[in-house]
Chains A and B, each alone.
Chain A
């Protein structure tokens, strides 16, 4: 068993710094509005273009936690960068743990915003694993994997938002 644990430690060390992917997302009104509804925001700025413009936005903005969802909800296959890395080191490290059981939990999430995301934006991501480690807590093995994804404006190259994600596997 000790050997197994050791080799997993090495797997974890090995993924630090590895890219988690490059993606292109297209920010559209339908998906953003649907998301605003799902996070129970009735603010007219998310639902009415006139209200958004009156508040100084060029178009309807996205709610603050949309950058986490857009990676799944706003991607089109033929638009994805040709040089996007294949496979995700996060899944490579977590897959064998999931196979053995236990629970995957979202530990922490952080967003640093450089400007609001608005409908019409096309954004490009650049993600990497920033940390990966295990610790024992109350007789459970806790595996922590942190990734950081920087999103920038495709047109200008300017940074838009950076999302930092901590995943915990508990078994």
Chain B
């Protein structure tokens, strides 16, 4: 069960997935709050965020992990990920352009399964990382 995207034999360490970029808007955060049920006001209520000493609302970490996950499944195929892990390194802010970077770091066979390991990051326009993590996909 899973979308067929990558051919294990053709995958090479160092291969990179197409970059997905998105300028973060406040509407994205409202939409994500509604879809995920995470209504922490720091993510949608500018007045409350500024009262708490923040310059503005900031993005849900899970929104960042979610859009990076979308870039990941576009590359390895939906249903093929066996592990996806991230560390949230910096907050995201409205109007930042967030870009995915997904690089193949390894290929291996384990219990008859063909696995591809990937390094995943999400960065802003200044090259600061927001998320740094790893994923493994089962290919065939």
Contacts and interface: CB of A to CB of B under 8 A. Distances in A.
A64 B88 contact: no
Interface in B92-126: none
A64 B72 contact: yes
Contact of A68 (B31, B62, B88): B62
A61 B67 contact: no
A59 to B, nearest CB: 11
A14 interface: no
Interface stretch (A37-45, A80-88, A152-160): A37-45
Contacts of A133: none
A72 B38 contact: yes
Interface size class of A (residues with CB under 8 A): 35 or more
A55 interface: yes
A92 to B, nearest CB: 19
B69 A64 contact: yes
Contacts of B81: 64, 111, 113
B52 to A, nearest CB: 8
Contacts of B32: 38-39
Interface in A41-74: 41, 43, 45-46, 55-58, 61, 63-65, 68-69, 72-73
Nearest to B5: A55
Interface of B: prevailing SS: mixed
A161 B20 CA distance: 26
Given A43-B73, A55-B78, A116-B1, A38 B35 contact: yes
B65 interface: yes
B69 A106 contact: no
Contacts of A73: 35-37
B70 interface: yes
Nearest to B4: A55
A72 B69 CA distance: 19
A34 B34 CA distance: 9
A115 interface: yes
A41 B35 contact: no
24 contacts: A34-B35, A35-B36, A36-B70, A39-B35, A41-B74, A43-B3, A43-B70, A45-B3, A55-B2, A56-B3, A58-B1, A63-B66, A69-B38, A104-B40, A105-B61, A105-B88, A106-B88, A108-B88, A109-B62, A111-B84, A112-B83, A113-B84, A115-B1, A116-B79
A-B residue pairs, 3 tightest by C-beta = A72-B37, A39-B66, A38-B35
